[in-house]
Structure 1
Amino acid sequence: MHDKFILLTGCSGGGKSTLLSVLAERGFATVSEPGRRIVADELAGDGKALPWVDMKAFALRAIEVAKSDLEAAQHLDGPVFFDRGLIDAAVALEQSGGQTTRETLGKNLPYAKRVFMVPPWQELFVGDADRRHDFDAAVQEHHNIVRTLDNLGYIRNMLPKISVNERADIVLRDCGAL
């Protein structure tokens, strides 16, 4: 476990990427969501690993990207904030019929014990060309992540439905970066 690697996770469309942007603006190291990067690559390429085409292929690719992100972040100083990451990808793989999250992660948990989550927030949720699932699917995904984090022994810090700057203040205070 790396205490400096802080995971932001939870419901799709709950404000994680916006929160990550604010943290970056405040000078902290950040890592963008693997899934969005993969979708962009796949839309520009053959599209075989798009989540709405082949979820298992997408999840396997997300695991590779998340592992690469973790390796690349090793040299960064101070806290590093991840928008989604290896746990989210492992949950997606398990939900698509692949190996279990525990099998994917092995014995080493990749992030700090405290994980920050955004709740389902319908008013923020917007489908787009890269996010083709509906709000109900996003809520189910959220529940799967919650269950997995609990099973892995992470401490979940559910962020309230407040402004992004207030959320950033909570995250920074609670992880000791303020």
Structure 2
Amino acid sequence: MEFLKLLSSVVLLLACICCLPVSCGESSTTPLPHQACSSITGSCEECLKNVSCLWCYTTNACLDYPARNVLPPSKLCRLSDARWGVCWVNFEALIIAMAVVGGILLISITICCCCCCCCCRKRSSGPDRDEERMVRRREERMQRSDERKAERKTKHDEIRKKYGLLSKSDHPYSRFEND
């Protein structure tokens, strides 16, 4: 049960980390008026202040992000040189990181579901079987205990017989009981 709690808290932590907005450098609180990305000159940070822009390090140019495509085509800019959102993460690293995080989330959710199903299955059929098993073990212990008692009694009877203590008539006080 502790494993499930730990796993669910790790999944929750990963989900929170993935959902946090990532920003590098200064952020402006006022939205910039929409301007053509090709007209922006300067650095990567200036270009990426506009969300619809893409910075390409090979040409050091600010380009319009191709909204029709999920990934920018290689003729526009290679994925390893393209930056969007922040300057320190390229598209290749972003794709790999998101694939790893998505894979970890899927695997952890699958494991959680499997563990929950196994626990529910054990709980639903477990108590009856456990009780039956305990009753059977108790009966076996009682039977072994009775067998040991019988063995002890036969050994004691043999010892009494050996020393003549088995019959009550041979006992020195037995004649007082018979009178």
The higher radius of gyration belongs to: 2
More helix by share: 2
TM-score band by shorter chain is: under 0.3
User: Normalising to structure 1: TM-score of the pair?
Assistant: 0.20
User: Normalising to structure 2: TM-score of the pair?
Assistant: 0.20
